[in-house]
Structure 1
Amino acid sequence: MQLTGKITPESLMTLEAYSKWRKAHKADVIAHRKLRSVRLGEHISVQFESELSMRYQVQEMLRIEKIFEEEGILQEIDAYQPLVPDGSNWKATMMIEYPDENERRRELARLIGVEDRMFVEVEGHARVYALADEDMDRENDEKTSAVHFLRFEFAPPLREAIQAGAAVKLGCDHTNYPAHVAIAPETLASLAGDLK
C-alpha cells in the first residue's frame, strides 16, 4: 500500500491486488493501529488515525461491499479522507465503551459534551482542546454518542515541541470523566510523524 498524502481513486489498489496485499500486510496494519491507540481511563479509547489506517479502511469497505464503480469508490473516499491528518493536526476516533447496555445508556446521558472536553497537553504549553464531530452533531439533549471524531490542531511551536520529543498527555476534563494519561513514547513517535 503506497502512501501518497491523499487518497484518490487512482491511488487505490484493485480489489484483486488488494486481496493479495491484505494477506501479506493485515498484521502490520493491525500493529500500526494498536500502536496509535490510547486508553483514557476505563471507558474511553482514542484511535489516532493516519493515512495508512484510513486507506486500509477504504480498501476494506471496497472489498467487503465489492465496490468497483467510480461513484461508490468516491463515496468511500469522501467518508474517510477527512480523518487523514494533514500535517498540522492529529485526527482520531474516540470510543466510549461500556459493555453493559443499561450502564452504557446511563453513562452516555451523563457524558453529554465529553467530546468537547478532550485535550492534548504538550509539555510547557497550554492545552489544545479537540474540535469534535465537524461533519455532524453526534449528541442530543438526552445522550452523547458512543463514537466521536476528533481533530487536535497544533500551531507551529507545538508541532516543533512534539517533534523535538516533548512529553504529551491526552486528557479529558469533563466533570463526569476527569482523566489524563501520558502518551507512550513509541506512540508519540508515530504521531509526531503526522506533523510537518
Structure 2
Amino acid sequence: MQLTSKITPDSLMTLEAYTKYRKANKAVIMAHRQLRSVQLGEHINLQFESETTIRYQIQEMLRIEKVFEEEGIQQEIDAYAPLVPDGSNWKATMMLEYPDINERKRELARLIGVEDRLFVEVEGQARVYAIADEDLDRENEEKTSAVHFVRFELTPPMCAAVKAGASVKLGCDHTNYPAHVTIAAETLASLAGDLR
C-alpha cells in the first residue's frame, strides 16, 4: 500500500491489485491496528488511526461494496480521510463495548457526554480534552452512541515531549466512567510517528 500522507484516487489500488495485496498483508495491517488500540477501563476502546489504517478502511469499503467508479471512490475518501492525523494531533475511533444488549442500552444512557470527557496528558503538560464528532452529532437527550470519532490536538511542546520519550496518560473523567491508563511504550512509539 502506497503511503503518501495524502489519500487520492490515484494513490489507491485497483480492486484486483488490492485483493492480492490484502491476502499477503492483512496480518501486518491487523498487527498495526492492534498496536494502536488502547483499552481504557473495561468498556472503552480507542483505535488510534493512521494513514495505514484509513487507507486499509477505504480499500476494504471499496472491495466490499465493489466500488470502482471515480465518484464512489471519492465519496469513500471524503468519508474517511479526515480521520488521518495531520501532524499536531491524534485521531481515534472510540468504541463503547458492552456485549450484553440490555447493559449497553443502560450504559449508553448513563454515559451521555463521555466522548467530551476523554483526555490525554503528556508528562509535564496540561490535559488535552478530546474534540469529538466533528462530522455529526452522535448523541441525543436519551443516549450516546457506541461509536465516536475524537481528535486530541497537541501543542508544539507536547509533540516535542512525546517525540523525546515523555510518557502519556489516556483518561476519562466522566462521572460514570472514571478511568485512566498509561499508554504502552510500543503504542506510544507508533503514535509519536504521527507528530511533526
TM-score, normalised with respect to structure 1: 0.99
| Helix, strand or coil at the partner of 1:179 | strand
Gaps of 5+ in 2: none
Residue-by-residue CA offset, 1:113-146 (whole Å, 9 max, x unaligned): 0000000000000000000000000000000000
| Structure 1 partner of 2:42 | 42
One-letter code aligned to 1:67: V
Report Cα offsets for 1:67-107 as digits up to 9, x if no partner.
00000000000110010000010000000011111111110
Aligned-partner Cα distance in 1 for 2:62–2:102: 35
Q: Secondary structure at the match of 1:170?
A: strand
Aligned to 1:151: 151
Cα-to-partner distance string for 1:39-62 (whole Å, 9 max, x where unaligned): 000000000000000000000111
Matched, 1:24 2:24: yes
Instruction: Quote the Cα distance in structure 1 between the aligned partners of 2:152 and 2:38.
Output: 15
Q: For structure 1, which runs of at least 5 residues remain unmatched after alignment? A: none
1:2 positional shift: 1.0
Aligned residue-pair number:
196
Which secondary structure does the structure 2 equivalent of 1:152 belong to?
strand
1:119 aligns with 2:88: no
Q: Which residue of 1 aligns with 2:137?
A: 137
What are the residue-to-residue correspondences of 1:1-196 with 2, within 5 Å?
1-196=1-196
What's the TM-score, normalizing by structure 2?
Answer: 0.99
SS at match of 2:87: coil
Q: Aligned partners of 1:6, 1:181: CA distance in 2, in Å? A: 32
Percent of aligned pairs with the same residue?
A: 80
- Provide runs of 4+ in structure 1 moved above 3 Å: none
Distance (Å, rounded) in 2 between the aligned partners of 1:100 and 1:66: 33
* Aligned-partner residue type, residue 37 of structure 1: S
Aligned equivalents of 1:77 and 1:194: distance in 2? 19
